[in-house]
Amino acid sequence: MGKSSKKNKVILAPPLPPDVDDEDILVSDEDVDFVEENREHVHLITGLNRKALDKVVTRVPDHDEDKVELLYEERERKRRAALALKPKDDDDLEVDPVDALPVKTLQGELLYRTAKRARSEDKAKGAESRSDDKDADAKQSSQKECKGRSNKKEDSKLQNVQRPLEVPKEKLHSVVLEEVKEELSADELFEKKKAQLAELGMAMLEDPESNIRSLNDLLIICNDTDQRVVKLAIMSLLAVFRDIIPSYRIRQLTEKELAVEVSKEVKKTRYYEYTLIRSYKAYLQKLISLEKQPYFYLVAVRCLCSLLDAAPHFNHRESLLASVVKNLSSSNDVARKLCSEAIRSLFRNEGKHRGEATVEAVRLVSASVKLNDCQLHPDVVEVCLSLKFDEDLGKDESKEEKLKPKKNKRYQNRDVTKPSEKKKIKKELLSKARQEVHADLRAVSFTLDPKEKKMIQRETLAALFETYFRILKHSMNTSNSRYKATSVFPGGSHPLLAPCLEGLGKFSHLIDLDFMSELIACLKKLSGYTDHQGEIPPDNTLSVSERLQCCIVAFKVWRSNLEALNVDLQDFFVQFYNLILEYRPDRDHGEVLADALKTLLWEGKQQDMLRAAAFIKRLATFALSFGSTEAIAALITLRHLLQKNTKCRNMLENDAGGGSLSSLVAKYDPEAKDPYLSGALATVLWELSLLQKHHDETVSGMASNILSMANLNATQNPVQLSSSNPLEAYKDLSMGRELSKPTHKVSQTLKCKRKRRSKEFVALSTDVLEKADCTVGEDELREKLQSHFAVLRGISENERLRTELNHALSSINMYKEYKKQKKFLCKIQLLHP
């Protein structure tokens, strides 16, 4: 064992002598003469390849090159540590290795000789003794020479006195370096580091396996003090990782795999993958730490989103997803849009990650909604609308198994002989081998089996509906409570309700039938419906648009399940009938109202006559009260209801007695809460005659088209001006109005008028008026009213006095004119008697 260990021990070559600058080498005259005499042999020295010689000297036979290189690095590290720990003695001076040969110890180390530095006093004494001997031998010299020698002695003494004050060479070197660094400008250093980053990045892109250690250098530059350099280093690493990340997930090696001896190529590949994962993890940690700093926030978020989009299959995906999902609710619009696009692309391109990242992202969204108590930006839930599910995902597997064809009874009753043990073992081995092959193929390819895909989609759908139901439950609790929560996000106290309802409407066909009745009851409660008609409805914190969406979702859920639910939706019709009056175009969304008209009244079966008449009358009143876009949606729905319910066309007659059909209510009640109790059949649609004179040609044309139905038979229908539904008509007209807006500048006079009007008139919203403190005492109110009416009386009295004054002045002027004319007549009579 001892001999084998000695044989396997690696004996490294001695370290090479340090490099010496050409300026430090002193060439004597003898060396010059020797070179001139042997010019023929100079090419032998100049032609030597120093790198090849160094490689030959440092090479160790029968050993791995990587292992030897690591040993050399370890020896150099130990040497530097020993030099740093060794106390420096000012008296010792290291001799240049070129001038003195080293001594090799038994351990194979080279020790260079050191010589003690001569003290200034010894040098001074030696100089004095030499000068005295010269003076004794040369007694016959002249006085000038003595003076010269005395001057030299004095100069040497002064030099010897000043020598101890000189700074050592090492200290001078460090001082000079510091001065040079201070003199270099910040721009030069920035350009130098910029060039270094470009060089490292190009080397990594050219040959990643050979230059994989450059990733550590790039990560070191990320810790620079200059923020510009750090930003460039982050972006450079992003480009490098996007290019070199493999198309597979790197698996951690087991102990058995590490114990097996492998070839050099496999070792190189393992080292490359290990370094890549380690550097990638350090880079992600750096991005997450820089994300907390305002200067690097946008850059870090952009890098995280880009990595998630480029490599969602790679290692450390969990930290990437957690950071991106957290920034979905950021106050920065740019960062929020970047994260939303990254998550949407993740949902669309499931082939990159086999759908596993989709499940993780939806679960993180659900956890974030739960943690923040549903007070997040709507984009957090809105991104889930990009999810895609198979149409047959909601089907039950037990039913599918029942539908499978059964085997022939003749083969079922047939006696099958039991196989032998050898055949059993053979079949088991074959099945195991096939399973291993299938597992390897699944690990390499991103395609999923139908069963695995269905399982992943079900997990995603379960997490998604968990989020939606949590939002609905939170909205019910806050809407019923007296406390109105304030939120900084758009959507008031329920910022996530609108995207939640939209998602429920989109994926309603995938909801389990067991939860349908509870969902319908929850939606009815959120829409603000009360079972008792005489009861005053509670203060609902939901807006009109959100309550309209609840009605829309209820009908979509009912229709998506082939109307199999035994649920009476009359309550939603009643609530929708009342919500039409609460609509305000400047506060609510007209597109939601048009969608409600399309879902509740346009689609589906024929409406009941009483209910249809009530909605026809309410829509005619609504079209007369609001703008063109809302009016066209209401009129298209009204025409559709008249076409489906021909008996309601009697409401188009303009007789004095109203509609000719009798109903339960003899008189129309426009304020009735229930459409069945409104008595709409007892009235006429006089609003259409006014809508014929509407300024918008589309609205006036539609009103004329509806009025023409009065002269047609019950089986006839008028010529349709458009075949679009209310939602499409609303969008088309709103888009046309946007395009027809004038682009020229408004004149200066109009601008001045608008400014004056804006100063004079201030429009206050209802929320501001409700929040305003209007509590005033009776005495204070009486005083204010007295002063106000006193001013009004003064103004009216002033106007009366002015009219009287003007009348008196006019009478005085008339009297003066009369006097003048009388005098003139008298003079004429005197002259002409």
Which residues, including other chains, have CB under 8 Å from residue 102's CB and lie 6 or more apart? Answer: 110, 111, 112, 113
Q: How far apart are the first and last CA of the chain?
A: 173
**pTM higher than 0.75:** no
Average pLDDT of the residues in 116-126: 45
Residue 691 C-alpha from the chain's centroid: 47
Q: Which of 510, 487, 516, 509 is nearest to 556 (CA)?
A: 509
What pLDDT is recorded for position 114?
Answer: 55
In this model, does residue 92 exceed pLDDT 50?
no
Q: Are 389 and 457 in contact (CB under 8 A)?
A: yes
* Tens digit of each residue's pLDDT (9 = 90 or more) over 669-697: 888 888 888 888 888 898 998 999 888 88
Is 595:589 a contact under the CB 8 Å cutoff?
no
Q: Look at the block and give the residue holding tokens 């700093």.
A: 293
Beta bridge partners of 115: 93
**Residue 198's beta-bridge partner residues?**
none
Share of residues in the chain with pLDDT > 70 (%): 67
Strand 92-94 to strand 114-116: parallel, antiparallel, or no bridges (unpaired)?
antiparallel
* Confidence label for 719 from pLDDT (cuts 50, 70 and 90): low
Under 8 Å between Cβ of 98 and 17: yes
pLDDT digits (tens, 9 = 90+) for 310-352: 999 898 999 999 999 999 999 999 999 999 999 999 999 887 8
Helix (H) or strand (E) holding 820: helix 778-831
Q: Reduced to 3 states, what is the DSSP secondary structure of residue 101?
A: coil
Contact 642, 717 (CB under 8 A): no
Please, which pLDDT band fits residue 437 given cuts at 50, 70 and 90?
confident
> How far apart, in whole angstroms, are the C-alpha atoms of residue 456 and residue 360?
10
Is residue 442 scored above 50 in pLDDT?
Answer: yes
Q: Distance between alpha carbon 464 and the CA centroid of its chain, in Å?
A: 20
Question: What is residue 601's DSSP assignment?
Answer: I
Binned at pLDDT 50, 70 and 90, residue 831 comes out as: confident
Residue 164 neighbours by CB under 8 Å, 6+ apart: 120
β-partners of residue 111 are 103
When mean pLDDT is compared across 390-404, 544-558, 604-618, 696-710, the lowest value belongs to: 390-404
Question: How far, in Å, are 48, 274, 393, 437, 439 from residue 39 at the CA level?
Answer: 16, 55, 91, 73, 73
DSSP 147: H
Which element (helix H / strand E) includes 92? Answer: strand 92-94
Q: Which two tokens stand for residue 440?
A: 């390897």
Classify 226 as helix, strand or coil: coil
DSSP alpha helices (H): ranges in 372-449? 379-382, 397-403, 409-412, 421-444
| CB-based contact 579:595 (threshold 8 Å) | no
Average model confidence (pLDDT) for the chain? Answer: 76
Q: How high is the pLDDT of residue 181?
A: 62
Token pair of 761, please?
Answer: 């008139």
Spell out where 114-186 has E strands.
114-116
Handedness of CA 634, 636, 642, 644 (dihedral sign): negative
Q: For residue 547, give the nearest of 578, 509, 519 by alpha carbon.
A: 578
- Spell out the domain ranges in the chain: 179-292, 320-394+434-477+492-510, 511-532+539-586, 606-738
Give the burial class of 233: count Cβ atoms within 10 A of its Cβ; 0-12 exposed, 13-18 middle, 19 or more buried. Answer: buried
Per-residue confidence band for 11, with pLDDT thresholds at 50, 70 and 90:
low
Q: Give me the helices (H) in 253-384, please.
A: 255-259, 264-290, 297-310, 317-326, 333-348, 356-371, 379-382
629: tokens are 């876009």
Q: What is the pLDDT of residue 108?
A: 67
Return d(Cα 711, Cα 718) in angstroms, integer: 10
